[in-house]
Amino acid sequence: MTRISARHLMVLLMLVSLVVWFVGCASKPPKEERAAAEQAFKTAQVAEKCAALTYTAAENALLKARRLTTEKKYDEARHYFVVAKELAEKARREAAANEECMNPKPVSAGAPAESTESEDEPVLTGTNNPDFELKPIFFPFNSDEITEEAKATLADISAWMNRFPDVSVAVEGHCDDRGSTEYNLALGERRANAVRKVLILLNVNPDKLDIVSYGEERPLVDAENEEAWSRNRRAEFKKRWNR
Amino acid sequence: MMTIKGLRLTGYLLIFLLLPTTAMAQLVIDVDPANFRKYPVAVTPLKNFGETEDTAGLAAEGQAILMNDLAIAGLFEVLDPKAFLEDPKTSGITEATVNFTQWLQVGAEGLVKGGFWIMGDRIKVDLRLFDVALGREMLKSAYERDAGDFRRMMHAFADEIVGFFTKEKGIFSTRIVSVRRVNKTKQIYVTDFDGNGGTVMVDNNNINLLPTWSHDGNHLFFTSYINNNPDLYRVKAKPGAKMIKVSNYRGLNVGASTSADGQRLALTLSKDGNSEIYVMNVDGSQLRRITHSWGIDSSPSWAPDSKRIAFVSDRSGTPQIYAATVSGDAAMRLTFQGNYNQSPAWSPRGDKIAFCGRDERLVFDLFLVDPDTREIVRLTQDQGNNEDPAWSPDGRHIVFSSTRTGESKLFIMNADGTNQRLITKQPGSFSTPDWSPRLEVLK
């Protein structure tokens, strides 16, 4: 009992010192943090492909921090610069660990060069195209688990959505046709919700995300076999421009 | 007379006596299903007594409808007309004009006969049931209706016959609503209980789902995506009726089940971020949440006492059947075998809940669970996937969907799993049937 109280006290002390620290720094642009974050992010570019999810999270945090700086919300901005820096470093570590991805077999020529690159914002290949294709993600049987592959897709979608604030996305949850109509409607809803939660974690504005479950009603592949079922257990993304 | 009749019939019909009157109750001595023997009954072609020629073949059609109804009832052994000895030309439909010895010889103990008169757009029928051994008329009904109601008149007499033997009318004046898939759209589709008379009730070039009857059979509830969200609607049970919105909360508004007293709807909503069971008045007012779990809660089905609800929940990790009271007491888990149990349907008699379970071979089949003892009985096996059970209003039959013939079609069976037969006669894929209450079609 006393040990727990001591621990509580420590946590409280830490919280207090954090608040004091925040107050102390209030209303000054977070120049140092920004420089550190930008530097870390540039160094982490190598991770764009090989640790896509973390990289995108870093990118989103950085974009948000920049926006907050422009809005003169310095305390929040500082927080996000720190987060961005940590995420960028993490992405670089993850990428370094992903040898298969870092040393790929030679493939075709690289992506077309970007000409609209500005000083402040790094190039965002693919997801800077308003017509970026939102690919479906797939789920295991009777599950709303977001697989590693799906996370990479969601990272791209979040980057794209953060890039284009005028776009809303409807997340559609779908199921294979085994099991009851009613249960599958609930399962599809749960899948769409799980996707929405991940996108929000990736800094997508919740107001830009709608969900709808179609249960087993709109199969991608109209057949009764393992391959068809695995393709039908999915979330699809529908764009809507609010211009 | 009553005693003699009772004695003769109880031998066959003991286990079907639902609510025996005091007079009959004394005769129910041995309620042992093993002793149950179906009552052998013969149905002759109807006789045309009128002036107008029977160009439509009503004589044979009437016989076929009555034979089919009695076979579905599960109480009768319907005899093959090929074995009949009687000369249809010389015999009549009265005690005096029937040679009962000939019927005894073919093994009939009951005999159904009838005649009709075609009178322009109208048809009059006279239908009778005889006890062969006694040589006595036991039941007689006459109807006169539009020619289009010919089938219904036959069903009405079959209802009377079942009522005569069991004290509870048959379920032949009922209809079945289901979803019919047409390309990418889904229609709300209604047929008679035997699959005849298919009618598209709702077709809006969109997805319409999970239709159920109101407690009086006058309305249908269903979910439609017509407004891009699965919202709940109500229509009069007539083709092309206007859709009236009942519930359009954000997210799911699905699986409406009407309480037996007709007062309330149970349904699944996900407006609070997770699918949960709610109860509301039939007009959508007085919404109340029944379940509170992190998992999926769906597919509510009322008990006949209008106090309890069976539903599906995966709060234990896999979908299982639960029951809860409407007052919100703790839900009770009913199924413990299998890891994928869904689609509960509480019997109108209250003593069983039908559900769909996936067995160890990953095949979907139908089962019963006793809500008190939790004892499980299997109803289907080795015949494709069998899903979506729904009860007939007397609790003696179950309609369900099955893939045993390829595409999903509707079948009916007795509540013990026997007497399974295809009822769908129309092309297309059919699912999620619901059986209407008894309809007063001849009113």
Position A117 confidence tier, pLDDT thresholds 50, 70, 90: very low
Asked whether the predicted pLDDT for residue B254 surpasses 90, the reply is: yes
Q: Determine contact: A185 vs chain B, CB below 8 A.
A: yes
Per-residue pLDDT at A113 exceeds 50? no
- B423 falls in which pLDDT band (50, 70, 90)? very high
Q: What is the mean pLDDT of residues B218-244?
A: 96
Which has the minimum average pLDDT: A86-100, B61-75, B92-106, B276-290? A86-100
> Amino acid identity of A152?
A
DSSP A47-61: HHHHTHHHHHHHHHH
CA B132, CA B134: separation in Å to the nearest integer?
A: 5
CA distance A204 to B152: 61
How many other CB atoms sit within 10 Å of the CB of residue B362? Answer: 9
Of residues B57 and B3, the one with the higher pLDDT is B57
Residue B311 predicted with pLDDT over 90: yes
For helices A52-70 and A74-97, angle between their N-to-C axes, nearest 10 degrees: 160
pLDDT score for B425: 96
Q: Does B317 touch chain A (CB under 8 A)?
A: no
Between CA B195 and CA B81 the distance in angstroms is: 23
What is d(CA A170, CA A237) in angstroms, rounded to the nearest whole number?
A: 6
**Residue of A145, A168, A182 to mutate, testing the B interface (most B Cβ within 10 Å of its Cβ):** A182
| A189–B268 C-beta distance less than 8 A | no
How far is residue B148 CA from its own chain's centroid? Answer: 22
**Does residue B5 register a pLDDT over 50?**
no
Q: What is the pLDDT of residue B30?
A: 31
Residue B70 pLDDT > 70: yes
Contact B319 A181 (CB under 8 A): no
- Decide which of B412 and B22 is more confident: B412
Question: B403 near B369, Cβ under 8 Å?
Answer: no
Nearest-CB residue to A212 (from B179, B229, B297): B229
pLDDT of B67 above 90: yes
Query: Inter-axis angle of helices A74-97 and A31-43, to 10 degrees?
Result: 20
Interval B25-41 mean pLDDT: 55
The secondary structure of residue B319, as a DSSP letter, is -
SS3 A102: helix
Q: What mean pLDDT do residues A189-194 have?
A: 96
3-state secondary structure of B241: coil
Chain A residues close to B231, C-beta within 8 Å:
none
Complex ipTM, two decimals? Answer: 0.88
Residue A25 predicted with pLDDT over 60: no
Q: Average pLDDT of A210-232? A: 95
pLDDT at A29 (0 to 100): 86
Confidence class for position B258, pLDDT limits 50, 70, 90: very high
Distance CA B411, CA B389 (A): 10
Q: Are strands B110-119 and B39-43 parallel, antiparallel or unpaired?
A: parallel
Interface contact flag, B296 A186, Cβ < 8 Å: yes
Taking the Cβ of residue B252 and every Cβ of chain A, the question of whether any pair is shorter than 8 Å is answered with yes
**B431 contacts chain A (CB < 8 A):** yes
pLDDT in the model for residue A42? 86
Q: Give the pLDDT band of residue A17 (cuts 50, 70, 90).
A: low
Q: How many CB pairs (< 8 A) connect A and B?
A: 80
pLDDT of residue B257: 97
> pLDDT exceeding 90 applies to what percent of chain B?
85
Q: How far is CA A160 from the centre of its chain?
A: 10
Lowest average pLDDT, out of A188-197, A234-243, B206-215, goes to A234-243
CA distance B298 to chain A (A): 6
Q: Is B338 on the interface with A (CB under 8 A)?
A: no
pLDDT tens sequence across B139-178: 999 999 999 999 999 999 999 999 999 889 999 999 999 9
Confidence of residue B186 (pLDDT cuts 50, 70, 90): very high
Distance between CA atoms of residues A104 and B441, nearest Å: 74
List of residues 6+ apart from B339 with CB closer than 8 A: B318, B319, B358
Q: What is the pLDDT of residue B20?
A: 37
Longest dimension (CA), chain A: 65
Name the average pLDDT for chain B.
91
Two tokens, residue A157: 């979608």
Q: Please state which of the ranges A32-36, A152-156, A196-200, B39-43 shows the lowest mean pLDDT.
A: A32-36
Average confidence score pLDDT of chain A: 82
CB B41 within 8 A of CB B108: yes
Cα A79–A83–A89 angle (5° rounding)? Answer: 150
What type of residue is B85?
Answer: L
Decide if B189 contacts B175 (C-beta within 8 A).
Answer: no
Mutation test of the interface with chain B: which of A168, A178, A185, A213, choosing the one with the most B Cβ atoms within 10 A? A185
Residue A16: pLDDT band (50, 70, 90) is low
Position A1 confidence tier, pLDDT thresholds 50, 70, 90 = very low
Quick check: B231 and B253 in contact, CB under 8 A?
A: yes
Residue A51 forms contact with B (CB below 8 Å): no
B253: which residues sit within 8 A by CB, 6+ positions away? B223, B229, B230, B231, B232, B246, B247, B267, B268, B269
Mean pLDDT score, B254-279: 95
Q: How far is CA A44 from CA A41, A91, A95, B16, B80, in A?
A: 5, 7, 9, 78, 84
Token duo for residue A78: 């500082």
pLDDT at B284: 86
**Percentage of chain A surpassing pLDDT 90?**
44
Q: For B346-377, write each residue's pLDDT tens digit.
A: 999 999 999 999 988 899 999 999 999 999 99
A189 lies within 8 A of chain B by CB: yes
Inter-CA distances, B206 with A101, B164, B228, Å: 45, 45, 9
Coil/strand/helix, residue A53: helix
- φ/ψ of B11, rounded to 5, equals -55, -35
Give residues with Cβ within 8 angstroms of B8, minimum separation 6: B131, B133, B134
Give yes or no for A211 touching B (CB within 8 A).
Answer: yes
| Chain A residues within an 8 Å CB radius of B431 | 181
Q: Which residue out of A141, A143, A144, A180 would a mutagenesis test of the B interface target, given it has the greatest number of B Cβ atoms within 10 Å?
A: A180
Least confident interval from A68-82, A142-156, B51-65, B102-116: A68-82
Percent of chain B with pLDDT over 70: 91
Asked whether the beta carbons of B144 and B122 are under 8 A apart, the reply is: yes
Q: In this predicted structure, what is the pLDDT of residue A94?
A: 79
Q: Are B161 and B127 in contact (CB under 8 A)?
A: no
Triad A176, A177, A181: Cα angle to 5°: 115
Contact B207 A212 (CB under 8 A): no
Rounded mean pLDDT, B339-350: 97
Mean local confidence (pLDDT), A20-33:
66
Give the bridge partners for B408, in sequence order.
none
Q: What is the pLDDT of residue A71?
A: 85
User: What does the alpha-carbon distance between residue B402 and residue B421 come to, in Å, rounded to a whole number?
Assistant: 11
Determine the length of chain A: 243
The whole-number average pLDDT for the span B41-49 is 97
